[in-house]
Amino acid sequence: MSMSDDKLQTYGLIQHAWSQFEYRVELSRRFASTFDADHLIMFDDIAMVTGESERLMNLSSIQGCDRSLLPALWLAIGFEYGATVLVYAPPNPIELRELISIRKKLQEKLQRTILIRILFNGINDILALYERSVEEYTELCLKYMTISSFRPEFSSQYHVQQLKKYANELFDYIQNKRRTLVFPFEVTPYHVQELSSYTRLILPDLPTNDKAQHNFVLRHCGFTKLPQLFVSLISVFFFL
């Protein structure tokens, strides 16, 4: 697409283009270009933006629950060295089966390979393990579930600690090219503090949660159905 970024944004909102294949591919390309990055690293957990009490009460049994696999697959299209997802827990084998199926369809349409890795407890690519042997991968999942000493210690800092520990190996993977974009579930001051000294890593800006500002931006682009969406969402909660 030859549109400017602003026109592409408006086109996406007005034409509901998020379901269009070419639009998603263009977004991933511009996403990488905006950050001038060759490689993407995504974290798979919401622990950093969930309060300690809520995490203990509601998320203790589903640590690693917020999968970033499908978003990483789409975004990987725009990065020369694709995407790497750091996970606290190995994904369900069904998740990987579906991910591989979707990747195959996307690659056929693009006529090229989409590079994506899933790293668990170090630099072990468990997506490659699954593709090599479903049986071995299933054994890994069972071992994770049944042997507590095999599981990494759960901490809201887990992903950042893993990234810092294996940064050199990750840089070697991309042949020390330009930069790697690190994309947590939500950027926090902790991420900035811990990773700002790495010149080959870049983070998105700290987010703003100004809902009024978001509403004005959407309305400026012609998206006028936000109040109706809120009402629909509330009705779903009441009538479930």
Q: Helices 21-34 and 69-76: crossing angle, nearest 10°?
A: 80
**Residue 126 falls within a domain, yes or no?**
yes
**Residue 24 falls within a domain, yes or no?**
no
- 202 and 224 assigned to the same domain: no
**Residue 226 falls within a domain, yes or no?**
yes
The pLDDT of residue 11 is 59
CB within 8 Å of 55: residues ≥ 6 apart? 47, 156
- 64 and 155 assigned to the same domain: yes
Pairing of strands 39-43, 116-120: unpaired
**Residue 62 falls within a domain, yes or no?**
yes
pLDDT (tens digit, 9 = 90+) per residue, 186-218?
Answer: 888 889 999 999 988 999 888 776 666 666 666
**Residue 20 falls within a domain, yes or no?**
no
Of 201, 205, 167, 207, the closest CA to residue 37 belongs to 201
- 178 and 233 assigned to the same domain: no
- 229 and 129 assigned to the same domain: no
The pLDDT of residue 184 is 87
- 179 and 240 assigned to the same domain: no
- 178 and 219 assigned to the same domain: no
- 160 and 215 assigned to the same domain: no
- 148 and 230 assigned to the same domain: no
- 137 and 214 assigned to the same domain: no
Termini Cα distance of the chain: 41
- 163 and 181 assigned to the same domain: yes
- 213 and 203 assigned to the same domain: no
pLDDT-flagged residues of the chain (< 50): 59-62, 228-240
**Residue 12 falls within a domain, yes or no?**
no
Distance CA 52, CA 144 (A): 23
pTM: 0.76
Of 55, 64, 233, the closest CA to residue 152 belongs to 64
Distance CA 173, CA 169 (A): 6
- 167 and 220 assigned to the same domain: no
What is the number of structural domains in the chain?
2
**Residue 149 falls within a domain, yes or no?**
yes
For residue 233, give its domain range. 209-240
**Residue 17 falls within a domain, yes or no?**
no
